[in-house]
Amino acid sequence: MRFIWLGLSLLIAIFILGCSSGDQHDQNLKMIQYLEPLDAVLEKPRPGEWLFEHPEQGQTFEAYKQSKPVSPDEIRRYIYLQPIGALTPIQGEVLRYTAEYLQIFFGLNTIIAEPISDSVIPARARRQSRETGEQLLTSYILYDILEKNIPPDAIVVMAVTAKDLYPSDSWNFVFGQASTKKRVGVSSIYRFTDIAMDSTTYPICLERLIKTASHEIGHMFSCQHCTHAVCVMNGTNSLPESDQRPNRLCSECHMKLCWNLGFKVPDRLLALDQFFMRHTLLQDHRAISKDCARIKQKTQ
């Protein structure tokens, strides 16, 4: 695997030196087309799964471009993570790993803001669940806390809490929620592990949190749920359904974010693969290492 990284790094250097910025952007989009054969076909949805309960048409690359998506500019160019409520030391460590991951995933500097107490959430935006105890209302966090306090240099803000979330009285819970135009979102780590976390057991929580955070921030950059292929932007109804999806963008959603954010595809894939290996996220490593090998094969 080390030889693949070295070979890919050399190709990246040649690629950068030999292209203008416009050519480089076009070449990055072309590289993503090379990855399309690696997209896994979505199976027919079964009862209880997201697409069975919520039939969606999806969003093509052309439709995305025409939607005037949220895009960074010279001022608004940072992703912020906003902790809400108390986090244990290991939960804080997972949050720091998540910030590192999001910086690689979106190609934008990611900042962890100073934590705020969940006491700012009033009683009308809380409820008690028999199964999970106290839950927090996502809409209050999104629009009364985050939207009203977006830092001037933030392109998007994602709240992270250790408490369970609910989006309305008719829902039992939600892993996360985001606005496609308001540039705010929220994720919870409450349901992401059923064992005590430590330095050896944290990866399962990390795998789930980076999946939810990148999914919700993808929405904040105006990506709708994906129906093109197996993708981190697929809608999911349950933790088992979410766990079946790797932390990988399908070629169509990859194209959308690359067109919008302008990241370098080989750099991004290589850094993602190294992150997955470092944290023993083996399902994600297997998926992205295939992308790295495909890019190397097609650009030699």
Residues annotated as part of the active site: 216
CA dist 88 and 105 (Å) reads 25
Give the whole-angstrom CA distance, residue 292 versus residue 35. Answer: 9
Helix H, strand E, coil C: the string for 36-92 is: HHHCCCCCCCCCCCHHHHCCCCCCCHHHHHHCCCCCCCCCCCEEEEEEECCCCHHHH
Strand partners, 133: 129
Is the CB of residue 112 less than 8 Å from the CB of residue 287? Answer: no
Phi, psi of 40 (to 5 degrees): -90, 130
User: Do residues 217 and 158 lie in contact, with contact meaning Cβ atoms separated by under 8 Å?
Assistant: yes
